[in-house]
């Protein structure tokens, strides 16, 4: 009898994040180019011998390979917990109660979709569990569940490089040649995502020149060349302005990182700063350089594109 289901999913960086008008549902229209990196979250479901027709998650624990947050994230509100119960509910068959264990390698609340990666990994792990007791959910159903959990979860499920529109969850795969090498730096200053979007709206209301950047043609062409310098020149993030306004200390980090790498940009809504480099060796040097200049900041090297959520082991 199988007792453990292990899956993983990638962190991400937005190579482009164009923010349009606010929608009636409270979200903004987005045009985003997602890029999965090989800093992966790992989720393990440990099945018990107790069967149930109801919610199957009984407990959860997270092991942090990044700095531990102040708040306890191991509860029913966690996206991974919600993802497992969502799959079990949709499957509609009796399943064993499970414990969730998460190995967290992506910064918490850092703009790299670590929570969404947890959810995506939990979705495919739970579906592997379902397959041992009934008919697993098809890909379209998993994708719909992913979208119901959060706007970034579908990309965490998909991986690679993709154009996201709507809330960011309407995805089309993009051609990307070669590998991109990154350094990610977490200044640990905290930027609430909702406040970043609201501030952008306010800034645009007061400055008509702050228009949405919704054209990804230059970036799309750069990605097909495999030339990191061209990719760097085409990157853009509409939320970088609000991030800098809320956390002015990011300016120095961006300046030093930009001098060391090909390009430095706030990742998503921040506060993580992503630094594109021209090789693995360059990235390792940049990581050491930034660690020396910014004591106490978290720094790691990664590369992409990487695959989406996948079951790694069942035993």
Of 135, 182, 150, give the one whose Cα is nearest residue 35.
182
Q: In whole angstroms, what is the distance from residue 276 CA to residue 182 CA?
A: 5
Neighbours of 23 (CB within 10 A): 12
* Active-site residue flag, 227: no
* Contact yes or no for 73/108 (Cβ under 8 A): yes
Catalytic residue among 12, 104, 169, 238: 12
Q: In whole angstroms, what is the distance from residue 62 CA to residue 102 CA?
A: 5
Residues with Cβ within 8 Å of 244's Cβ and at least 6 positions away in sequence, in order, are: 250, 251, 254, 266
- DSSP state for residue 278 in the 8-state scheme: S
Catalytic residue among 118, 152, 169, 306: 152
* Contact yes or no for 19/237 (Cβ under 8 A): no
* Active-site residue flag, 152: yes
Beta bridge partners of residue 95, listed in sequence order:
52
Q: On the CB side of 233, how many CA atoms lie within 13 Å of its CA?
A: 10
Neighbours of 93 (CB within 10 A): 11
Please give the positions annotated as active site: 12, 152
């Amino acid at each position: 009898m199988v007792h453990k289901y292990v899956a993983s999913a990638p962190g991400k960086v937005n190579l482009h994040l164009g923010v349009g008008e606010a929608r009636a549902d409270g979200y903004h229209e987005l045009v985003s180019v997602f890029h999965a990196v090989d800093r992966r979250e790992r989720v393990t479901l440990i099945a018990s011998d107790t069967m149930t027709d109801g919610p199957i998650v009984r407990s959860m624990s997270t092991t942090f390979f990044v700095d531990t947050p102040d708040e306890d994230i191991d509860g029913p509100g966690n996206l991974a917990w919600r993802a497992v119960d969502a799959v079990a509910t949709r499957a509609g068959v009796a399943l064993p109660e499970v414990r969730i264990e998460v190995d967290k390698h992506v910064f918490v609340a850092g703009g790299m979709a670590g929570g969404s990666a947890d959810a995506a990994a939990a979705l495919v792990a739970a579906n592997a569990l379902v397959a041992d007791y009934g008919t697993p959910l098809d890909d379209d159903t998993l994708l719909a569940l992913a979208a119901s959990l959060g706007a970034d979860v579908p990309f965490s499920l998909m991986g690679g490089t993709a154009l996201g529109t709507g809330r960011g969850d309407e995805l089309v795969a993009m051609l990307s040649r070669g590998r991109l090498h990154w350094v990610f730096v977490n200044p640990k200053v905290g930027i609430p995502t909702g406040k970043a979007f609201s501030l952008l709206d306010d800034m645009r209301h007061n400055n008509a020149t702050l228009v949405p950047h919704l054209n990804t043609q230059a970036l799309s062409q750069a990605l097909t060349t495999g030339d990191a310098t061209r990719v760097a020149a085409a990157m853009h993030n509409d939320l970088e302005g609000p991030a800098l306004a809320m956390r002015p200390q990011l300016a120095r980090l961006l300046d030093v990182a930009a001098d060391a790498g090909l390009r430095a940009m706030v990742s998503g809504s921040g506060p993580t700063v992503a630094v594109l480099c021209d090789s693995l060796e360059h990235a390792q040097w940049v990581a050491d350089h930034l660690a020396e200049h910014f004591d106490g900041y978290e720094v790691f090297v990664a590369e992409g594109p990487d695959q989406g959520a996948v079951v790694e082991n069942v035993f």
